[in-house]
């Protein structure tokens, strides 16, 4: 079993910044792709950003140029630096990752979510 613990959410004014963290712990052989998703009230969950084990990143169109995803493989942790935040970035942010628990078993896990509210 693997647990993902997120932190760093909160209330910020438009134009401000926040940094989210997500640490994985438990039965981990290796971690493949790590990602952040978000879900606003009344909307579907959407992909924010992904980062591969080799550091290749990918971003949703709405956050390109403002958000930066990174990871620390030694700590099994993924980060999301969010700059120039807008009210439309308000959502619950979820960490998601594919964890290789053994050479023959990979499972997908979700974090519990952390609320980000952008408001004046």
> What are 29-70's pLDDT values in tens digits?
999 999 999 999 999 999 999 999 999 999 999 999 999 999
The pLDDT assigned to 53 comes to 92
The pLDDT assigned to 87 comes to 97
* Per-residue pLDDT reduced to its tens digit, 10-26: 999 999 999 999 999 99
Confidence of residue 75 (pLDDT cuts 50, 70, 90): very high
The pLDDT assigned to 68 comes to 98
* Per-residue pLDDT reduced to its tens digit, 88-119: 999 999 999 999 999 899 999 999 999 999 99
Q: How far apart are CA 68 and CA 14, in angstroms?
A: 17
The pLDDT assigned to 71 comes to 97
The pLDDT assigned to 29 comes to 92
Which one-letter DSSP state was computed for residue 104?
Answer: T
In degrees and rounded to multiples of 5, residue 89 shows phi and psi of -85, -5
The pLDDT assigned to 46 comes to 97
Find, among 8, 9, 21, 27, the residue nearest to 109 by Cα. Answer: 27
Tell me the two tokens of residue 72.
Answer: 């620390």
């Amino acid at each position: 079993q693997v647990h993902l613990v997120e932190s760093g959410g909160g209330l910020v004014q438009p134009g401000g910044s926040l940094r989210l963290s997500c640490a994985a712990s438990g039965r981990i052989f290796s971690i493949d792709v790590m990602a952040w998703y978000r879900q606003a009230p009344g909307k579907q969950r959407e992909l924010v950003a992904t980062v591969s084990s080799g550091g290749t990143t990918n971003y949703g169109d709405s956050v390109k140029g403002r958000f930066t995803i990174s990871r620390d493989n030694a700590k099994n942790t993924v980060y999301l630096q969010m700059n120039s935040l807008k009210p439309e970035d308000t959502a619950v942010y979820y960490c998601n990752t594919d964890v290789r628990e053994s050479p023959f078993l990979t499972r997908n896990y979700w974090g519990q979510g952390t609320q980000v509210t952008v408001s004046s």
